[in-house]
Structure 1
């Protein structure tokens, strides 16, 4: 293998680095005896819409029943009992069903009515495994939209009934929830990348049937005609698939926010909703407002992007007043000892865009007030990064923009199935490397629920769960190359600067400051990384971003050299910053020869992951 080939193999993490060994099992492995074949047991059906020639007696009120669909035909038969105490909403008002399962809700001209699945029951899914639990009411249909929006629904029906079936799995105290960020396929080629990558992984897992999968926005990349292709992907998964909207799921030709997600609502899900599994209450929010306007979004002057919605429409992280009222009423129905899992595409706060007002949610403090005193975790996508932000973490941008001193509960940015927008080399597995903005690899997050507690785990696409770290060497030679190659990429004149073998260090590198880097994908405050060099004692590595109120630390010295060497050569974002990078200084007097670094990364839950890196010290390159 040539020196150049060794570089590419090593930096891609595909060769030159010893395989990971870990002390944990793979959740993706089949759990014998616990789960049945999903295709054989899935409850397939739809909501029941009842109409008559005369219509309802009072068209200002929607009536309906939530019932136990014992024969699974989606029709409310006389011998099928209604279910008491189940939440139903029109997107603003929240009511609970009476002793016979009946509800009444005020009618609005443009509303989505949905049921909150209670633990111990399951809503139906269609043939693509998409959960069926809502009804759109828009009498005249959407305004003319490129991707169709919502067809005219006509007058309010006589009743909208919501069928459920009993489910042991949704009431389990031990549940796995797939949280999938930014599928974001722009074309059929990228649909196939997803199919060969993360979707294939999910098709081989059976451990998430009770909770299912939640795709946290940017389901497609602007082309909403691809929703049918997405449904072809979810048909391969093993559990209910739910979706919330992202900024690439918009009807961009909508002139008001009222209709900006009409096609999403017609094809996939309400813009926001909730459901219960085990001892958790999951809230899926719409945190994208488009087009944003100067009066609502830029009253404080922090979002000038929103000042010209007619000629230059933009989006903003925002929860409107109607949705906020629904959230208040929804939470009021939830026992205070339950875990609140609150998800949105644009995160309440995140690390990658901590200094940006539009890429975080304006109403973050209002949401915190509603969740005060509750056990909670926030989930998000959007930033194409993996972020395990813990209670008490603090960044300068959060304080400057929103007056938030520190996080009141964990926030998880779940990474992206698309990684860095499906960029980089296409591997022999049939999908791109697509290393993310922080150097992490593409994948999905699993939220492991245990009663009202949780643990998070990130699974790299195509890898077992023990693959949690990426090891490299940050040397003066690498830092010089970073600057030179970055400049060359902007103005590619002459031959491109070459890095050389990233696993060979000379005496000048050691004297100038060289450290071993560990990109611990799901690492956060409370995680540790120790390094044992050759036969020496383990020494703790130092995290580069302390999360103690500082600004982001950016530049070659704070970068992941494995990711950057791949990205600067093969395209994509450049991982010149990350909140989950640890470094261990190599001794300046390290003897020439072959050395092995043994790395142990321990997450906040005490799970340990082992990795090794073998490198050479030479007198001179």
Structure 2
């Protein structure tokens, strides 16, 4: 039963959340802003049932659109966007759906935190959206990680320009999975201007490089981030999917390491209140910065707290369609959670751990446009991903390299596959040399095949080794007597999506064409090709 506004005020005033702090009630009206003037006119109706939260409890707007919610100093109160509406755009070009309550402001912080804000009135005019039937398209970034205005320029000309050039700026939603900058939080406005230029409603998760490192504790460590990007844990609804974005960086000042992946009791309180209201016939996306799996091979070190993972997975277990999104690693991986990591659903839980927009921290030799190669340590080119959500919880993922044909890439590369093969081999030599295919979105069961000169398709073998193209770039950096770029490319590490096929040497002398195809479960067949030459030689 939905309470009338008066009863709602009384109930909240007596609630444990309000009594504990004896602080404030944030009140307001949620309404349909038909004329988009930012204020409620007499003929504009209230909207019932819109969720609002202080990060712990959840309330819903009444039949007249009114609501009230308790707020403690330090809270950010936010609305959950209903699928049929849009939020207005704020001054920075981002959706405006929150209010901070810090009557005394932040503790002294290098990057300012949040200035004193004691307003307790928050009205929200929602904008009706007319959407044609069809899939939901989302653009995904991880780790732009800009350390200077030079890096921000790379981000704008490389990543943002690639999204615009590919037409993905017609997406309904964008999401950045943390490490928006690389510790210099003063870069937020410049970077946000570049992102907002796409005209796509954009959401942000917080990363470990988005922290106020001079904050006294975890609770204050994202105040500057929140000033620019709003709540660090929130939900967002689209007609075909529900998104829950969580801050999973638990700051541990003075400890080593200085942070760990995990969630807090307040976040679990919000999830426990909100998730039971989420429909189960659509996709539920849970997005964060730090991967939900442990990334450290040391068995005694948790990079994401096991107890928190199990508690989260227990809440998600009731949903048949769940996708986890994470960043942080600057490599591209797919992980399928099962009982070993605390997941007990009917099928494995898919986590897509995105590669980085900055690649390996904007490193490598620059191309003709002055943009660094930015290849990641697993050989994946820097770029961004897209998520297409279909009816009934189905989804499709794709990786989009920011550039093709730039420094360090083969002209024959395609968006999905990077090839490496020797240019020349001795005719008749033992066939010990191979063509390598880095299938950027490859999974353990991806089928990858190759053929030479249009012959029979033969299977390629998945191998656990570094991408030889990046090894060759490492060797060029080693051999150089002068710096080839500001930072050299990263040291190659074993890739989780590399396949090898042995090249035949018993063919006629001359050039031979090698074709590779991979069967992507989301995008269908992907192809790439290259050549090698057989040369006759005598001892």
- The C-alpha deviation readout for 1:373-409, integer Å capped at 9, x for no partner, is 41110111110112233576x9xxxx5xx56699832
Tell me which residue corresponds to 1:15: none
Partners in 2 of 1:162 and 1:325 — Cα distance? 24
> When the two structures are superposed, what TM-score results if normalisation uses the length of structure 2?
0.86
Tell me which residue corresponds to 2:60: 96
Check conservation: 2:71, 2:77, Cα contact below 8 A: no
Instruction: Select which of 126, 131, 134 maps to 1:164.
Output: 126
Query: Residue 243 in 1 paired to residue 204 in 2?
Result: yes
Partners in 1 of 2:70 and 2:49 — Cα distance? 18
Tell me which residue corresponds to 1:377: 323
Tell me which residue corresponds to 1:605: 522
Partners in 2 of 1:120 and 1:249 — Cα distance? 32
Tell me which residue corresponds to 1:505: 425
Tell me which residue corresponds to 2:90: 126
- The C-alpha deviation readout for 1:344-397, integer Å capped at 9, x for no partner, is 0112127x65658454454222221111141110111110112233576x9xxx
Tell me which residue corresponds to 1:336: 280
Tell me which residue corresponds to 1:472: 420
1:329 partner SS: helix
Instruction: Evaluate the alpha carbon distance shift between residue 210 and residue 559 of structure 1 in structure 2; reply closer, same or farther with a 3 A threshold.
Output: closer
Check conservation: 2:356, 2:383, Cα contact below 8 A: yes
Tell me which residue corresponds to 2:396: 455
RMSD, aligned α-carbons: 2.6
Tell me by how many angstroms 1:209 deviates: 4.4
Partners in 2 of 1:236 and 1:596 — Cα distance? 43
1:147 partner SS: coil
Query: Residue 423 in 1 paired to residue 363 in 2?
Result: yes
Q: 1:128-277 residue pairs with structure 2 within 5 A?
A: 128-154=92-118, 156-157=119-120, 159-169=121-131, 172-204=133-165, 206-209=167-170, 211-277=172-238
Tell me which residue corresponds to 1:595: 512
Tell me which residue corresponds to 1:82: 46
Tell me by how many angstroms 1:532 deviates: 0.8
Check conservation: 2:140, 2:385, Cα contact below 8 A: yes
Query: Residue 537 in 1 paired to residue 499 in 2?
Result: no
Partners in 2 of 1:355 and 1:132 — Cα distance? 42
Partners in 2 of 1:100 and 1:579 — Cα distance? 54
> When the two structures are superposed, what TM-score results if normalisation uses the length of structure 1?
0.75
Q: Which has the higher contact order (CA 8 A, sep 6+)?
A: 1
Q: Please, which runs of 5 or more residues in structure 1 have no aligned partner?
A: 1-57, 293-307, 474-501, 545-552
Q: 1:107-126 residue pairs with structure 2 within 5 A?
A: 107-126=71-90
Query: Residue 440 in 1 paired to residue 380 in 2?
Result: yes
- The C-alpha deviation readout for 1:469-510, integer Å capped at 9, x for no partner, is 11113xxxxxxxxxxxxxxxxxxxxxxxxxxxx4223469x5
Q: 1:409-420 residue pairs with structure 2 within 5 A?
A: 409-420=349-360
What is the total number of aligned residue pairs between the two structures? 496
Partners in 1 of 2:29 and 2:417 — Cα distance? 50
- The C-alpha deviation readout for 1:521-575, integer Å capped at 9, x for no partner, is 111134211101223200111222xxxxxxxx4xxxx121112212443423223
Instruction: Evaluate the alpha carbon distance shift between residue 568 and residue 346 of structure 1 in structure 2; reply closer, same or farther with a 3 A threshold.
Output: farther
Partners in 2 of 1:191 and 1:60 — Cα distance? 39
Partners in 2 of 1:162 and 1:96 — Cα distance? 13
Tell me which residue corresponds to 1:366: 311
Partners in 1 of 2:249 and 2:234 — Cα distance? 15
Tell me which residue corresponds to 1:44: none
Instruction: Evaluate the alpha carbon distance shift between residue 320 and residue 212 of structure 1 in structure 2; reply closer, same or farther with a 3 A threshold.
Output: same
Q: 1:519-538 residue pairs with structure 2 within 5 A?
A: 519-538=438-457
Instruction: Evaluate the alpha carbon distance shift between residue 140 and residue 503 of structure 1 in structure 2; reply closer, same or farther with a 3 A threshold.
Output: same
Check conservation: 2:27, 2:66, Cα contact below 8 A: yes
Partners in 1 of 2:148 and 2:182 — Cα distance? 8
1:410 partner SS: strand
Partners in 2 of 1:368 and 1:313 — Cα distance? 25
Query: Residue 569 in 1 paired to residue 476 in 2?
Result: yes
Tell me by how many angstroms 1:91 deviates: 0.3
Partners in 1 of 2:324 and 2:159 — Cα distance? 22
Partners in 1 of 2:342 and 2:323 — Cα distance? 20
Check conservation: 2:431, 2:502, Cα contact below 8 A: no
Instruction: Evaluate the alpha carbon distance shift between residue 69 and residue 440 of structure 1 in structure 2; reply closer, same or farther with a 3 A threshold.
Output: same
1:267 partner SS: helix
Tell me by how many angstroms 1:612 deviates: 0.8
Partners in 1 of 2:400 and 2:171 — Cα distance? 19
Partners in 2 of 1:467 and 1:565 — Cα distance? 21
Deviates most, 139-148 or 313-322: 313-322
Query: Residue 345 in 1 paired to residue 309 in 2?
Result: no
Instruction: Evaluate the alpha carbon distance shift between residue 425 and residue 115 of structure 1 in structure 2; reply closer, same or farther with a 3 A threshold.
Output: same
Check conservation: 1:380, 1:414, Cα contact below 8 A: yes
1:340 partner SS: strand
Q: Please, which runs of 5 or more residues in structure 2 have no aligned partner?
A: 1-21, 406-412, 478-487
Check conservation: 1:346, 1:361, Cα contact below 8 A: no
Tell me which residue corresponds to 2:434: 515
